[in-house]
Structure 1
């Protein structure tokens, strides 16, 4: 009651409002004076506080091996009430999706995709494709079960999808109405991917390739990589950064971005995932205070991945990686999604999404625009504005009560008083219990 409700669609703040929840839906949102409070209702005092829609992390790999038991609790504790899972064992993720929806597990509402790549990628959870026919078959079998019921919510292309298979995926995805998103494979250009109907492009380094006068050379050089193991990935990051630093073409970049805007291709910059490489082992980036919420096996993988990063590497990444591209995308009308690529190195479930919002603002977005990238825009992208994205009667009760105004300082999204996920209330005590449960479980 008596809360300031932020309308992320318009930027307006409606003061002295009351929001009523019945089950998992908002039954009233409007002036407190007009609210009819049911007898016996739990009342949360919102005076001096701000209510926003629950946050979405639109690029996670959250339900992977040892992380699956903890990621959901960490996300909810941080106000992340929705997530787009970008590919692991799809049937495992779908079980988590169903269990969360049924209230058997704690976690964000999920949309789940499956990763498709070329044979160079040896991961067992990847669907491998080579030919046009492989691409068509992958879309058919991954998006639908044998009985015709839905399976994956979308298809994610990865970096080494062969050219023929990529266009097979694009054609069949359009035919079936299945979204396909992901990396821009080295076998195609950014413009070709946008023209082919790729719904979203993940990570800003793919865009940077498109902005390079040496785009064809870059794609030929790294597209024949024989391995996608972590050390080899570091080589790619290092060498690609060096080439991109010296070949940025602003005229070409404006043309590429104009194509993205014209085709309504969305971008998930995942700015936070580059920070450990640009600022190797800087504690303001690696956040050792959050390590207690991460399994030792995962931390070990992070350390191995970062072991080869030198100060010179960090300097190169900093010099080529520019927040200006995110600003240019915004200025051109390209729609942005907030995502973290959790659990890449030092990218933490829930915690790191708030850092991503801060980096979006550092890139030139207003706090409102950054907030939209994690609330309204995900709902629009998913075709779910009728049930998500804003605070209104009839919509799902995914909400965050904040102690300070995020429109004046985006860092205030961290100042959480209460999280409401699918109608379930997590106050300060409940959120602390979620974090303590994860910390305790990881000690045993």
Structure 2
């Protein structure tokens, strides 16, 4: 199976010049003055519980009041939203996305991607490959000039060929900090010396690092460096291979072949404990890797309904990515074992209290922005977590991550007074089934209410634009 770690470049190469770069000043889209969700069931996500029959008042983009419906006075000028029989939960956070090119206008890919996030209740994203235009996009969204999720963004990834020496690594970290990026992403091929320089420089100037853990760095070194988050469970399967294994793990992120016969599951508790002690978080991207090693063929993947909302060229790029992994498929038992080990690691990390984050790694491999966040949530449940545990990794945990490592206010991720009003209103309880996340009555982002009719209109317009037949 071909390694795919650079296949995302296929998407960016196809769309690098796509979309209008003309920045259009949009009207302010921030919060209306006062909105009241009346007699709603609140899923606060501070712990596993539901507060029945509450009225939640949002003012100036913040949750101002939460109280029993029969006792809570609603301002005379407030817009009322009937919450009877409905459930109000925090907006979702996708901690591993790749923002597309564009200024964020409705006619460019970046703007359409932001709409896809909102239509799926994703109100915050962490962009893991950034360009200067993404800094502009982040700031325009924050100012209310564009509708979209709150954006945190890394800069260009640090690779072995872009920072071959410690001196180059130090220079690039300093440049990204000065440019205003929120974090530094470490990627493929870094030497131990360059990685050490990245870690030391980032600590000195106060910018977090996150990203891959390749064989040149290794899990032990990444944990010792307190890398804030590890993407894709990189390094974990290598770390639990027996020391006397005659087989070597192949390079890259897909660990298949004879080495799987020498994995020692008894080593899992040790690496899990080390992860918790180091306070390193994990973004497993389970759905992505399941798809890559699955038997699902392109003609079946093209039937995914969400593909109607992306350009035909993007569908073709997705198909090309998948075909590249299907040319000589490894034995089914190896692919199943790889997925089983990843699921086991996620369960054990959660059980030990090591923090998990939901990240989709979209758009690639038929993972459509926003929709892919829900596929990743479902993969957490398929790995053995409860709906609450999965939702925690897409709401409260990300907010705590940003507060811990980026020193942002802990002001979203739960439904509590004073928190930013990023909310989803649902027709059914998401703690009972994640399928209830699809029964949305509307989404609120930074206090701006988007009823489901408006969200559906966004999707309908994208579908009309890209109605061309799939390749």
Equivalent residues in 2 for 1:329-368, closer than 5 Å: 329-368=349-388
Aligned to 1:14: 51
Aligned to 2:346: 326
After the TM superposition, list the runs of 4 or more consecutive aligned residues in structure 1 that deviate by more than 4 angstroms.
Answer: 214-221, 282-287
- Is the CA contact 2:159–2:186 (under 8 Å) kept in the aligned structure 1? no
How far is 1:425 from its partner? 1.0
The DSSP-based 3-state class of the residue aligned with 1:26 is strand
Aligned to 1:378: 398
Q: 1:243 and 1:425, CA in 2 relative to 1: closer, same or farther beyond 3 A?
A: farther
Unaligned segments of structure 1, at least 5 residues: 121-127, 146-150, 223-235
Distance, in Å, in 2 between the alignment partners of 1:217 and 1:348 is: 40
Aligned to 2:272, which of 257, 276, 280? Answer: 257
1:86 aligns with 2:128: yes
Distance, in Å, in 2 between the alignment partners of 1:399 and 1:284 is: 34
After superposition, what is the alpha-carbon deviation per residue over 1:65-121, rounded to whole angstroms, capped at 9, x for unaligned? 6632311000100000000000132x111111112122222211000002333354x
Distance, in Å, in 2 between the alignment partners of 1:23 and 1:80 is: 20
After superposition, what is the alpha-carbon deviation per residue over 1:156-208, rounded to whole angstroms, capped at 9, x for unaligned? 10021222110100111112221100001321110110111201000024322
After superposition, what is the alpha-carbon deviation per residue over 1:390-426, rounded to whole angstroms, capped at 9, x for unaligned? 1122211100001111111122122211100111111
1:62 aligns with 2:62: no
1:132 aligns with 2:166: yes
Query: TM-score, normalised to structure 1's length?
Result: 0.88
Distance, in Å, in 1 between the alignment partners of 2:48 and 2:281 is: 21
The farther-off stretch of 17-26 and 283-292 is: 283-292
How far is 1:218 from its partner? 9.0
Aligned to 2:321, which of 305, 308, 328? Answer: 305
Aligned to 1:273: 288
The farther-off stretch of 94-103 and 249-258 is: 249-258
The farther-off stretch of 164-173 and 203-212 is: 203-212
Q: 1:218 and 1:253, CA in 2 relative to 1: closer, same or farther beyond 3 A?
A: farther
The alignment yields a C-alpha RMSD, in angstroms, of 2.3
Aligned to 2:140, which of 76, 99, 106? Answer: 99
Distance, in Å, in 1 between the alignment partners of 2:77 and 2:415 is: 23
Distance, in Å, in 1 between the alignment partners of 2:399 and 2:201 is: 24
Aligned to 2:159: 118
Aligned to 1:226: none
- Is the CA contact 2:443–2:451 (under 8 Å) kept in the aligned structure 1? yes
Aligned to 2:305: 289
Aligned to 1:27: 64
Q: 1:119 and 1:325, CA in 2 relative to 1: closer, same or farther beyond 3 A?
A: closer
The DSSP-based 3-state class of the residue aligned with 1:4 is strand
Aligned to 2:25: none
- Is the CA contact 1:340–1:353 (under 8 Å) kept in the aligned structure 2? yes
User: Which structure features the higher share of helix residues?
Assistant: 1
Q: 1:94 and 1:354, CA in 2 relative to 1: closer, same or farther beyond 3 A?
A: same
Unaligned segments of structure 2, at least 5 residues: 1-37, 103-107
Query: TM-score, normalised to structure 2's length?
Result: 0.83
